[in-house]
Amino acid sequence: MVSAVVLAAGASTRMGSQKLLLLLGGEPLLRRSVRQVCDAGFDDVLVVLGSEHEQTRTALEGLAVRHAVNAQYASGMGSSFRTAVEHLPDSEAAMFALADQPFVTSVEYRTVLDAYRHDPHGIVSVRYGEVMAPPHLFEREFFPELAQLEHGARSVLQRHQDRTLVLQFRPDLLVDVDTPEDYELARSRLSSGR
């Protein structure tokens, strides 16, 4: 079983309100992102919630996902990796995606899944031009290392470059919605069809 994990626990401090509930293309950002992951063909989709988890969970109604609540979300992204690993007892591998990347679609997520299934690397990582960023897929043997993280997975990727297949995605797909300016940019880009 290959799972997909969407990390969606943060408090959106730079936005000033829960960014995952902001509407993008007529639906909450969280739902848009999770829907794209659901459409990519993974065996299982787990969403790690945290800040305002009752409201964010409501945005997922009707989607075929599981959710887990990270009560320690304020301590950083590492706590969400730990929460995820605890909720993946039967997964041989898991792709970790971020809920605030609205322009990464089911096509890209499927590319990561297909690359894992067709190539015997233990990790599938993504570069957008020169920038390494999620999603990243890890075989189960790396879960204990992920559960020790304080922040993102960069340190695990650096330690295991010899086990990593790196995919190249278009740089313009790398948009994180972190600030009000990011949100306006994403809305404008979506409405213009770019």
DSSP assigned state of 154? H
Give the Cα separation of 12 and 21 in Å (integer).
10
Give the Cα separation of 67 and 78 in Å (integer).
17
- Mean confidence (pLDDT) of the chain: 93
- Segment 24-51 mean pLDDT: 95
Task: Please report how many Cα atoms fall inside a 13 Å half-sphere around the Cα of residue 12, on the Cβ side.
Answer: 24
Give the Cα separation of 153 and 119 in Å (integer).
21
**Res 38 pLDDT > 60:** yes
Determine how many CB atoms are found less than 10 A away from the CB of residue 74: 13
- Segment 19-23 mean pLDDT: 91
pLDDT band at 191 (very low <50, low <70, confident <90, very high): confident
**Res 187 pLDDT > 60:** yes
- What amino acid occupies position 107? V
pLDDT (tens digit, 9 = 90+) per residue, 126-183? 999 999 999 999 999 999 999 999 888 999 999 999 999 999 999 999 998 989 899 9
pLDDT band at 194 (very low <50, low <70, confident <90, very high): low
State how far the alpha carbon of 53 is from the alpha carbons of 7, 59, 70, 153, 186, in Å: 12, 10, 9, 23, 24
Residues 15/178, Cβ–Cβ less than 8 Å: yes
Percent of the chain with pLDDT over 70: 98
**Res 193 pLDDT > 80:** no
pLDDT band at 65 (very low <50, low <70, confident <90, very high): very high
Query: For position 20, what pLDDT does the model report?
Result: 92
Tokens of 34: 């999770």
Task: Please report how many Cα atoms fall inside a 13 Å half-sphere around the Cα of residue 163, on the Cβ side.
Answer: 13
